[in-house]
Amino acid sequence: MKRAVAVLALGLVSPLAAQVPAPGNGVAASVVHVQVFRSAFDWSQPWRQEGVTGASGSGFFIAGGRIVTNAHVIADARQILVRRPDQANPYVAALEAVGNDCDLAVLRVADPEFAKGLRPLAFGSLPRSGTRVNTFGFPLGGQDVSSTAGIVSRVESRGYVHSGADAHLVVQTDAAINPGNSGGPVIQDGRVVGVAFQGFPGADNMGFFIPVPIVRHFLKNLEDGRYDGFPDSGLDTTPLLSPAYRRERGLPGGRSGVVVDRVAPGGTADGVLKPGDVLLSIERQAIANDGTIRLGDARVTFEHAMDMLQVGATVRFTAWRDGKELVLQASARRIARYDRNRNQYGVAPDYVVYAGLVFMRLETELLKTLGRGWPQSASRDLVWHQLFREAEQPAEADREVIVLTRVLRHAVNSQMALSLPVAVEKINDRPVRSLADVVEAFASNRERFHRLEFERDGGIEALDRAKAETAHPEILKQYAIPHDRKL
């Protein structure tokens, strides 16, 4: 997944990729080349990092001496260098903030020489379908800043592949967006209307950029020096395209909306909306029966209205319940547990190793070590926890699942018969709901054996405690594990 973005398009120069004179003079001068050296964490051996690889993308200079680029350009970066198109020498940049959920990042160069004579680009507004835009950046195949022209094809909500779990507004264009363009500005009338960020491998003339409302949301949120992300409605809804369903809900003719199927605990709508409600409007924007609201000439999912709010803001809903229209208010909230569904960058994974047994928290990044087909190939228990448990057991939505991910073989554990990875239910009769529980359960045991119980058909296992204590430091040494835990 991390590389899907970079896979963009292999044809380097499409007919549209010809150099064109930049409308809005001097835009090109404010576009910078971003070169990155990265080292990702290894989720299959969480105590180690992978080898250094290089990557490059684009960025642009904005007010406040900052550079905007994509989060995926600087993901897992250990060193970031930026270069102006009119200068030969790169400058070392620091990562000021990153929003992996919207694939945006802000960099800053400490050296005052860098910004001299550099004109910050100003932001425009959401471009309309059919209007012309120009992209700027440093795509593959050359050193100079390159510009391509194209037309805004459509405005819609779409998944952001960098996080793998978020959808926001995107704009599709036929302007060539190739690997290396990532993070570069998309310009209309001399102003930034978006940030180029992803494409469809294999599809011609389809590039996507992050439109200015999402970029503004990100920058606005950073004003207090901390990034809080986007609020989550916490709603699962069904479109009301069925006339029978509209009648069954008692919805008067002429009214439209979506049925609330589920309200996620801790989300914005928790305690405000209920399953069975028909959500009629959000932030005074009427919701159509297909779940969309109007945005300029386009129709986009009503969730876009949530995206335009910052965490903590008040959101206004109207809903049809028991034959009446209700006006409801809620405080926009973010659901922190959904981070376990997102691709992780730049954060060392938590783990505990004891006597060669490696324990980690269940999250998407861990399941990805099993391959892309994990929803079918991982054990059904793990798949159920990750994909289905919250909807079926909302009271336990925030529960963590601890997984025995591997056994570092040593005489003390090598005869265990386990099918890994497997969800841990109990250790020494203590329910295991966190990595701290794992540490505590082993440390507090005074019996002759450590006893492990796994979920469902996972069976049970045991370790001789005295032998495990002796083996533990040996195993860490043999397998070159510097620390037996990271919590």
Partner 1 sequence: MTASCSRATLALAALVAAACASTRPPASAPPVPPAPAAVAAPAPAASNGHLRAGIVSVRVTGQDWNWRAPWEKQAPWTRTVTGLVVPGRKILLASTAFGNHLLVEAQKLGSEARTVGRVELVDQEGPLALVAVDDPAFWEGLEPLPLADRAPGEGDVTILRWQRSGLLDAFPGTLRQVRSGRHGLSQTSLLTLEIGTSTDGLGESEVVIAKGRVAGLVTGRTGDAYGALAAPVLAQFLEGAARGDWRSFARAGLAWQDLTNPALRESLGLRPGETGIRLTRVARHGSAGGVLKPGDLVLEMGGAKLDPTGYYEHPLYGRMLFALLFSDGRRPGETMPVKVLRDGERLDLQLPLRAMRPEQDRVPPYVFGRGPDYVVVGGLVFEELTRPYLGAWGDWARRAPPRILVAIDREPEDAGEEPKRIVLLSSVLPDAVNLGYQELRDLIVERVNGRAVGSLADLRQAFAAPQGGFHVVDFVAGQGAARAVLDAAEAQAAAARLQQAYGVERLDSAAP
Phi, psi at residue 299, to the nearest 5°?
-120, 130
Q: How far is CA 473 from the centre of its chain?
A: 37
Least distance CB 258 / partner 1 (angstroms):
11
Q: Which stretch binds partner 1 (CB under 8 A): 100-108, 171-179, 245-253, 433-441?
A: 245-253
Q: Which x/- pattern, by CB under 8 A, does the window 419-438 give for partner 1?
A: x--x----------------
Number of chain residues interacting with partner 1 (CB under 8 A): 49
Least distance CB 263 / partner 1 (angstroms):
12
Q: Which stretch binds partner 1 (CB under 8 A): 39-47, 138-146, 300-308, 414-422?
A: 414-422
Phi-psi sector, 433: left (phi>0), alpha (psi -120 to 50), beta: alpha
Any contact of residue 457 with partner 1 (CB under 8 A)?
yes
Q: Which x/- pattern, by CB under 8 A, does the window 290-319 give for partner 1?
A: ------------------------------
What gap in Å lies between CA 56 and CA 201, rounded to an integer?
Answer: 18
Q: Which stretch binds partner 1 (CB under 8 A): 41-49, 110-118, 180-188, 451-459?
A: 451-459
Any contact of residue 464 with partner 1 (CB under 8 A)?
yes
Nearer to partner 1, 132 or 337 (CB): 337
| Annotated catalytic residue 125 | no
| Annotated catalytic residue 33 | no
| Annotated catalytic residue 444 | no
Quote the strand ranges of 200-273, DSSP E. Answer: 207-211, 235-239, 258-263
DSSP string, 164-209: SSEEEEEEEESS---TT-TT-EEEETTEEEEEEEEE-TT-TT-EEE
Nearer to partner 1, 284 or 456 (CB): 456
Tell me which residue of 115, 10, 5, 122 sits closest to 70, measured CA to CA.
Answer: 5
**What is the three-class DSSP state of 157?**
strand
Q: Which stretch binds partner 1 (CB under 8 A): 50-58, 184-192, 334-342, 377-385?
A: 377-385
Residues in contact with 12: Cβ distance below 8 Å, sequence separation at least 6, in sequence order: 139, 140, 141, 178
Query: 282, 306 in Cβ contact below 8 A?
Result: yes
Q: Which x/- pattern, by CB under 8 A, does the window 192-231 give for partner 1?
A: ----------------------------------------
What gap in Å lies between CA 360 and CA 351, rounded to an integer?
Answer: 5
Query: 231, 332 in Cβ contact below 8 A?
Result: yes
Which stretches of the chain bind partner 1, using CB under 8 A? 236, 238-245, 247-248, 259, 261-262, 373, 375-377, 380-381, 383-384, 387-388, 390-392, 412-413, 415-419, 422, 448-449, 451, 454, 456-464, 467
Q: Which residues are catalytic?
A: 72, 103, 182
